[in-house]
Amino acid sequence: MTRYDELQALIRTFEKDFTKFYEKGNKEAGIRLRKQMQTLRAFAKQVRDEVQEQKVSSKQRED
pLDDT in tens, 4-59: 999 999 999 999 999 999 999 999 999 999 999 999 999 999 999 999 999 998 87
Please state, in angstroms and rounded to a whole number, the distance separating the CA atoms of residues 34 and 32.
5
Secondary structure class of 63 (helix, strand, coil): coil
Question: Is-above-0.75 flag for pTM?
Answer: yes
Please state, in angstroms and rounded to a whole number, the distance separating the CA atoms of residues 43 and 39.
6
Q: Give, to the nearest 10 degrees, the angle between helix 27-62 and helix 15-24.
A: 140
The pLDDT, as a whole number, for residue 63 is 64
The pLDDT, as a whole number, for residue 62 is 73
**Does residue 1 carry a pLDDT above 80?**
no
Secondary structure class of 2 (helix, strand, coil): coil
